[in-house]
Structure 1
Amino acid sequence: MQEKILMIGLGAMGSVLARLLQEKGKKVTVWNRSEAKAKPLTAIGAAYTADISKAVAENDIILVCVLDYAATEQVLQGVSLEGKTVVQFSTGTPQDARLMAASLSARGAAYLDGAILATPSQMGAEQTPIFLSGSQEAWTTAGDALRILGGTLIYLGEAPGAASAWDIAALSSMFGMMIGFLNGARIIESEGMQVADLGNMILNVAPVLGQMVKDTADDIQAERYSNPESSLDICLGTFDLMLRLAADNKLDGGFASFGQQLFRKAQDAGYGQERISALMKTLR
């Protein structure tokens, strides 16, 4: 018998998730506080039910994509979840996920926490990554439907907070890189050159940068800090140069100041002649 799927929340992401499922032949019902957002989906065959209790009761897999976990609790307050598989795609922390897993499991649901590492326009592609953690039963039940949403599903086990932790760690890596790039873009602009050329250069050397990150991760895992090819003392000099350039070209020095402060903290702790991985010791 075909599984019945309810999509709760029809913002930019939720609407795309519902559309992908509907287009792949799934039996989809949608629910949103504003019925207007459901009309493009009902136009292609999805059902709409205004009563959230009725919508949940009539479906097997409940996908949630609202503002946050508090909004999820509010929407599902008083709704029977016995025997339902609930997949949470709203934004939250690992602690949010743990609390929700405990709450919904106590109400009879099999709970799976999900974190989508993509924008709405990237959904449905083979390379689209989705982190998932929580109930093995929920993962088994919802897996086929979730593969429609992203071809790279990463199930991280039964600890419900794992997906959120991986998501936030990946976002930290991504936004850290983007802030560094934007700082670099201002340097390029201030010298009368083209930002697009910097973007192309970063694209071309991305495998080298990725390998540096992996090597640093391996060093941290192995507690390997000595015999650096480029010591913390040498790396610190980069931020000193950035600050001099910022002063010369009248640029914002915030990024360089932050990096300088972090590296100096490691230097003051005696790690100046160690690998960049030794920064982890100061962060700990």
Structure 2
Amino acid sequence: MRDDGKRITVLGLGAMGTAMARAWLDAGYEVTVWNRTASRAEPLAAEGATVAATVGEAVAASDLVVVCLLDDASVEKVLDGADLRGKDLVNVTTSTPGRARERAAWVERRGARYLDGGIMAVPPMIGSAESGAYVFYSGSSELFAAHRDALAVPAATRYVGVDPGSAALHDVALLSAMTGMFAGVSHAFALMRGTEAAPREFAALLIEWLTAMAPYANGVATHLETGDYTLGVTSNLAMMVEGNGTLLRTAEEQGVSAELLSPFMALMERRLAAGHGDEGTTGVIDLLLR
């Protein structure tokens, strides 16, 4: 039997919204769902969810309302006519830090508390404690404290501060690092294309190497915290810029464009030209700040 105090509304039933709603249903929550295309709610209705005919009806059904829509513009459009007074709104729609702050102010003007979320998972990971999925949350600390247990059902929670934009910023920062890794992996596979090395075997080498290099981030953190960009440096910037020549010549020999590497290498060269050859690569961060 469900606890009537465990009520939650989910607006938006794409792959992620559906996965989250299903996780709450499986955990015994009374879940009300709404989706613009009503047929998307049918599988959840068969599993026990209540399907609201309108956004207003869905919002009224629960104190805790989770929004998982296509984009920020959709959030405003969907919620524009809803009565949000006294509600706790958790928005896990992908957005930017600035948009998250704007949405928080917009929601608070309508009498609700606001929490922004950045989901570090894909839908199949939701609801599985072993998957490693988690969600960054930022905004109202009171809202987070009040609903911590419910929010932890689909994925682990990581509260990152009262600034509503902090969750989105953490999300995008990690995704940006991932994108850079994808660029390096793509370049590496391009170099090996057409050789005797089997892609699967080379992938194993890549994973081993990148895992070994991951603690590089700790060194960068130490540099930023101390202001000394030379601490613990074993391969300094002068050595790495010299070594970049070999990387570029190899790419040319293999008929591979260096366009994925060239922007970072150019920044390294600028930092070296400014007289920082004894540093690591942390100084590149200073060049990126506008």
- With the length of structure 1 as denominator, give the TM-score of the two structures: 0.94
CA distance 1:58–1:94, change in 2 (3 Å): same
- Find the partner of 2:241 among 231, 236, 253: 236
1:159 match:
163
User: How far does residue 7 in structure 1 lie from its aligned partner after superposition?
Assistant: 0.7
Partner in structure 1 of residue 205 of structure 2 = 201
Q: CA deviation at 1:12?
A: 1.2
Name the residue aligned to 2:104.
101
How many percent identity over aligned positions? 33
Gaps of 5+ in 1: none
Q: Any idea what SS the aligned residue of 1:29 has? A: strand
Q: Work out the number of aligned pairs and report it.
A: 283
Q: Which residue does the alignment assign to 2:174? A: 170
In structure 2, the residue matched to 1:274 is 279
Name the stretch that deviates more: 61-70 or 201-210: 201-210
Asked if residue 68 in structure 1 is aligned to residue 71 in structure 2, the reply is yes
Matches for 1:2-81 after TM superposition, within 5 Å: 2-81=5-84
Summarize deviations over 1:226-281 as a string: whole Å, max 9, x none. 36311112112343222212211111221132222121121222222222212222
Normalised to the residue count of structure 2, the TM-score between the two structures is 0.93
Match of 1:258 among 260, 263, 279: 263
Q: What root-mean-square deviation, in Å, do the aligned CA atoms of Structure 1 and Structure 2 show?
A: 1.5
Distance in 2 between residues matched to 1:250 and 1:203, nearest whole Å: 24
Deviation of 1:172 after TM superposition, in Å, equals: 0.9
Quick check: 1:85–1:141 contact (8 Å CA) kept in 2? no
The 2-side partners of 1:237 and 1:189 are apart by 25
Give the conservation status (yes or no) of the 8 Å contact 2:97–2:165: yes
Greater helix share, 1 or 2? Answer: 1
Instruction: Give the alignment partner of residue 190 of structure 2, picking from 166, 186, 191.
Output: 186
Structure 2 gap ranges (5+)? none
User: Which amino acid in the other structure matches residue 275 of structure 1?
Assistant: G
Give 1:36 shift. Answer: 1.0
Q: C-alpha separation between the residues in 2 aligned to 1:251 and 1:206? A: 21
| C-alpha distance in structure 1 between counterparts of 2:196 and 2:265, whole Å | 26
Q: 1:147 aligns with which of 135, 146, 152?
A: 152
